[in-house]
Amino acid sequence: MDRAKLPRPNTFAGLSLILDRIAERRDESAWVTEQANSTQARYLLLDAAGEAFMRRDREGLRWLDTHERAQWLADVPTTLLGIADQRPHFLLVLDDAHRIDELENALDARRMNLRSAGLRLAADEAGLFAYAKGLSHWQRETRHCARCGAPLQLVAAGHRAQCTNPDCARLHFPRTDAAVIMLVEHDGACLLGRQASWPPGRYSTLAGFVEPGESLEDAVRREVAEEAGVIVDEVHYHSSQPWPMPASLMVGFIATAVSRRIDMRDHELEDARWFTPQQIVDGIAEGSFVPSTALSVSYRLLAYWLQQRAGLDLDQLAAAIPSG
């Protein structure tokens, strides 16, 4: 596979290029233990809030080696993430705030949340952090059986949870909530909206969760109609992005509207309007328009649209926005 010819993945995506999740061996407890005790093993440490240990001397994750794990965290269960660069990678989650503070000093580390670290880390480490955070959130939130209420026990190297009630023994699997996010266009303009809580001038593509019994395309049409009153016709897939904040998968689309009539039906948005490429350029220059953070697939959708429709580079435009 020539990675140079592949499109640049969204932030947190593309992990399959470097990591083999090796799901077929998660039930082999002896093999998993052997990998965890290997001198080649690496451990990603998260605290109870899902923040990762980062290096102090540069932008990178502060991985623990086998010796450090044995010295400080031998009592903490491991979760197998997979094999990367022929080395087994594991997740450790420590809930003890006092021990976390001690380790932060002992390991010369600092803690950072995923949103802050996403664009600071290399793509592979950002993807591994997102994977670990999503999995640890599910483990933390899924403690009792949804069928009988009995406690659950993690199995399959941390990727499944089994009910401890022998009369039930139901298996629970990690959950991901599908959400659609879409750039809607009509005759040379795109539809963007903003919420009242956002910084002044920030506009983003519309988004929403998929409901039961709904296709992704139908979810796009419903969400746009609910939030902006705009009727959508054609819907085309663009790309997707894991978004474990806490447990979503963002599925991105480019959609075409029938008209530009706006009627904000559900009042989730403070404002929704149509923007031409020139209006976006002018708005960025004068400070009245701020795109979504480059962390998000919303940014990538807008970047794609500006490039395809007007030959504009959003990265270059956004670079002129003051950091404050």
pLDDT digits (tens, 9 = 90+) for 58-114: 999 999 999 999 999 999 999 999 999 999 999 999 999 999 999 999 999 999 999
- Is pTM beyond 0.85? Reply is yes
* pLDDT by residue, tens only, the chain of 324 residues: 344 444 578 999 999 999 999 999 999 999 999 999 999 999 999 999 999 999 999 999 999 999 999 999 999 999 999 999 999 999 999 999 999 999 999 999 999 999 999 989 999 999 999 999 999 999 999 999 999 999 999 999 999 999 999 999 999 999 999 999 999 999 999 999 999 999 999 999 999 999 999 999 999 999 999 999 999 999 999 999 999 999 999 999 999 999 999 999 888 899 999 999 999 999 999 999 999 999 999 999 999 999 999 999 999 999 887 665
List residues bridging with 224 in a β-sheet: none
How many of the other CB atoms lie within 10 Å of CB of 131?
21
CA distances from 278 to 188, 191, 310 (A): 10, 14, 9
Please tell me the number of Cα atoms within 13 Å of 298 on its side-chain side.
22
DSSP string, 261-306: ----SS---SEEEEE-HHHHHHHHHHTS-BPPPTTSHHHHHHHHHH
Instruction: In whole angstroms, give the CA distance from residue 264 to residue 229.
Output: 5
Contacts (Cβ under 8 Å, ≥6 apart) of 296: 11, 204, 241, 250
Instruction: In whole angstroms, give the CA distance from residue 303 to residue 203.
Output: 13
Q: Determine which helix (DSSP H) or strand (DSSP E) holds 211, and give its type and residue range.
A: none
List residues bridging with 53 in a β-sheet: 111
DSSP state of 48: T
